[in-house]
Amino acid sequence: MKDRIRVLIAKVGLDGHDRGAKVVARTLRDAGMEVIYTGLHRTPEEVVSAAVQEDVDVVGISCLSGAHMTLMPRVIQLLKEAKADDVFVVAGGVFPDEDIPAMKSMGVAEVVLQDTPPAMVVEVIRNLVSSRQPR
C-alpha cells in the first residue's frame, strides 16, 4: 500500500459551484493526503482518465448541476472499463433524498452532503481506503 492516500477531486457537469470541492481538496491535503483537483466542467471521460493516470485511491466527485444521476453511473462504468473499479467513488453535492440510495446502488461508495464537517470528510476517505485489501 502506498504511504499517502491519493485523491482526485473532480467537478463533473457544467455547473461552476466549486466552493465545496476546493474546501474539501484543501482539507484533505492538510490531512496529509495527495490531492489532485481537476478544475471545472470535466466530462466523465476526462475524470476517469485522470484517475487512472494519477493512480488514485479515491475519486471525489462534486456535482451541483442536477445531472448526477446521468454522470455518476457514467464515471463508474468508465472506471470498470479501465479496470480501475477498485477506486472508490465518493459523491458530493446537492441531491434529493431518494437519489442517495440510488447512487449507492450504482456503485458510489459514499455520499457526502453539504454541512458535513471537513474532519468528517477526512474520516470517510480514510475509512474507505483502510477497508480495502492491500493491492
| Binding positions for other proteins, rule: CB under 8 A | 13-19, 21-23, 25-27, 29, 37-41, 43, 65-67, 69-71, 94-97, 113-115, 117-119
Nearest residue (CB) to other proteins, 32 versus 132:
32
In the complex, least distance from residue 44 CB atom to other proteins, rounded to whole angstroms? 9
Minimum distance, C-beta of residue 84 to other proteins, in the bound complex (Å):
22
Which residue, 53 or 114, is less far from other proteins as judged by CB?
A: 114
Q: 94, exposed or middle or buried, with CB in 10 Å at 0-12, 13-18, 19+?
A: middle
Work out the angle at residue 94's Cα, subtended by the Cα atoms of residues 64 and 67, and round it to the nearest 5 degrees.
45
Q: Which CB sits closer to other proteins, 65 or 88? A: 65
- Estimate the crossing angle of helix 68-81 against helix 99-106, to 10 degrees: 10
Rank residues 97 and 135 by Cβ distance to other proteins and give the closer one: 97
Q: How far is the CB of 29 from other proteins (least distance, A)?
A: 8
First and final CA of the chain: distance in angstroms? Answer: 6
Q: Is the dihedral of CA 74, 79, 80, 82 positive or negative?
A: positive
Instruction: Print the SS3 string covering 46-93.
Output: HHHHHHHHHCCCEEEEEECCCCHHHHHHHHHHHHHHCCCCCCEEEEEE
- Taking the complex as a whole, the smallest distance from the CB of residue 95 to other proteins amounts, in Å, to 8
Residue 111 CB, shortest distance to other proteins, in Å, is: 12
Nearer to other proteins, 17 or 129 (CB): 17
